[in-house]
Structure 1
Amino acid sequence: MNQEVTQLNQEVAQYIQKLQQWQVEVCESLRKLVFKTIPAVEERLQYGKPHYLKNGHYACVIHAAKDKVSFMIFNAGGLEEIKGFIKSMSDPNRKTATITEGQKVDSALLAKLLKKASASL
């Protein structure tokens, strides 16, 4: 599982292309961020959403809903919540950033958090 990914998953690409234009832009940006942050990541469409795995373990997931895009980071127990940006889920090992139309995404911060959370995977 520890191999370089050389091509993007076509099912994920199709999932993204069906979204509203602003969501397409956000999801493509998040997708690039994931590949840059976790070079050997595995991308797959699972449970109807793009999932990203490192060494067979979930690292993050992108999910688009009617009026938002969620970016959930797994193995995130050591990450602090950031008011108005990153919140804990019912599982303390998951943190989610919710992005709405027109919101500026702090890609550098998300990459830093993802790198920290996925370091031990």
Structure 2
Amino acid sequence: MNQNQDVMDFIAAVKEPWQAEQCVQLREIVHQSIPEVQERLQYKKPHFLRNGKYAAVISTSKDAVSFTIFNATELQLPEGMFDGPPERKTIKLRQGQAVDAGLLSSLVSQAAAAL
């Protein structure tokens, strides 16, 4: 895994343990879905890139962890699970909500394939 120290520091600084766990899991999903992914901290959030183009981003808020998938126009998304404009879709995960790793991995892989 191509790990960036700034991204590792971001996750380590997340105050809520459940949010930190989700960040770690989402990061692993991205790395498994895009083997050549590059990560960096940008705009104070972990961004994941393929061929220099945004593939995904993780952010945290008071009560959620948001995961945005870029290049999402062609994706078949489950109804009501994601928000945002056609080119980027965001899912907000709340405490106690399980991450569907298989679904997210498939979506990230599909979206990044064209980058």
TM-score by length of 1: 0.89
Deviation (angstroms), 1:78: 0.9
- SS state at 1:97 partner: strand
Q: Give, in whole Å, the separation in 2 of the partners of 1:67 and 1:15.
A: 17
List alignment gaps of at least 5 residues for structure 1: 1-5
Deviation (angstroms), 1:38: 0.3
Q: Give, in whole Å, the separation in 1 of the partners of 2:39 and 2:77.
A: 26
* Matching of residue 17 in structure 1 with residue 9 in structure 2: no
Q: Give, in whole Å, the separation in 2 of the partners of 1:58 and 1:104.
A: 25
List alignment gaps of at least 5 residues for structure 2: none
Counterpart of 1:59 in structure 2: which amino acid? Answer: A
Q: Give CA-to-partner distance per residue, 1:11-61, whole Å, 9 cap, x none.
A: 111111111100110000011111111000000000000000000000000
Q: Give CA-to-partner distance per residue, 1:82-107, whole Å, 9 cap, x none.
A: 234222x1x32001111000001101
Contact kept, 8 Å, 2:7 with 2:46, in 1: the verdict is yes
Q: What is the root-mean-square deviation in Å for CA atoms of aligned residues?
A: 1.1
Q: Any runs of at least 4 consecutive aligned residues in structure 1 with deviations exceeding 6 A, and if so which?
A: none
Q: Give, in whole Å, the separation in 2 of the partners of 1:82 and 1:97.
A: 11
Q: Give, in whole Å, the separation in 2 of the partners of 1:7 and 1:82.
A: 30
Counterpart of 1:95 in structure 2: which amino acid? Answer: K
Matched residue pairs, number? 114
TM-score by length of 2: 0.94
Counterpart of 1:113 in structure 2: which amino acid? Answer: L
